[in-house]
Amino acid sequence: MTELLSLPWYLTVVPVCAVLGAVAVSKVLNISQIASFVGAVVPLGIPYAELTVPSQSLLSKPPVQVLGGWGVFLSLALMWVVLRAFLRVVKGPMGLLRIIYSLLLGTAGLVVVLLVADPKMLHTFAPTWRESVGGILLSTLIASLGLTLMKVFKSAAFLVVCSIATAILASQVFFAKMPYELERDDIQKIEKALPDSLPRGLVEQGFEGLLKASTSTRSVLRQRSPEDLES
């Protein structure tokens, strides 16, 4: 410690540089000046602390200890800036859940790519990935698969509803009839108006299927109506 105190630059230049650096970091990163000054001053006292560091180690040198302390506090300041920007982007708990879900999904995709490309690399750098995050990543992929299937079923149901609504409106606009009231001559007129690139009999088969569905539905309703009246 006497060697450290005997250095003329340590008690003059270093504190001044620490103060100027604290001001610069506070302005650049837009953080509190008090926090910046604390991060600049605290590392100056590390060489005075009794650290159990071997004398042969590089960490036993006072300049290295001070620079290391500044590096730690600067890393914390950068992490705080990133976290602050992250919290501004995320609005509400649902936004945070979406970001966590996206990160987990991306991690699961990266793990799958590594397993296919080079499994030894994954086992080398993360030998306990199965026990630690394997179940979480698998659950994320299962949840993603379930959400995708729900979207597919929703799109298919929407397609069926739109097809039925289109058939009903088209039959009403062109023939003033319901689809199950159309006759074969009406269907042939529709097929003649369609482009030649479409297969013949497509419209007829579609309306015949719709006719069978509507007929069976009406018959079921007619069978249930007397029972409802008796009850």
- CB under 8 Å to 69, separation ≥6 — which residues? 42, 43, 46
Q: What is the pLDDT of residues 74-111, one digit of tens each?
A: 888 888 888 777 767 666 566 677 778 888 888 898 88
Give the residue extent of every domain in the chain: 2-89, 151-230
Separation of alpha carbons 2 and 204, rounded Å: 102
Rounded-to-10 torsion of CA 124, 128, 129, 132: -160
Q: What is the pLDDT of residues 185-205, one digit of tens each?
A: 766 666 666 555 555 555 556
Q: Is 152 exposed, middle or buried (0-12, 13-18, 19+ CB in 10 A)?
A: exposed
Q: E strands of 115-176, at which residues? A: none
Q: Is the CB of residue 74 less than 8 Å from the CB of residue 25?
A: yes
Separation of alpha carbons 166 and 157, rounded Å: 14
pTM of this structure: 0.44
Q: Is the CB of residue 37 less than 8 Å from the CB of residue 7?
A: no
Residue 114 vs residue 84, higher pLDDT: 114
Q: What is the pLDDT of residues 31-81, one digit of tens each?
A: 888 888 888 888 888 777 777 767 667 777 777 888 888 888 888 888 888
Separation of alpha carbons 180 and 183, rounded Å: 8
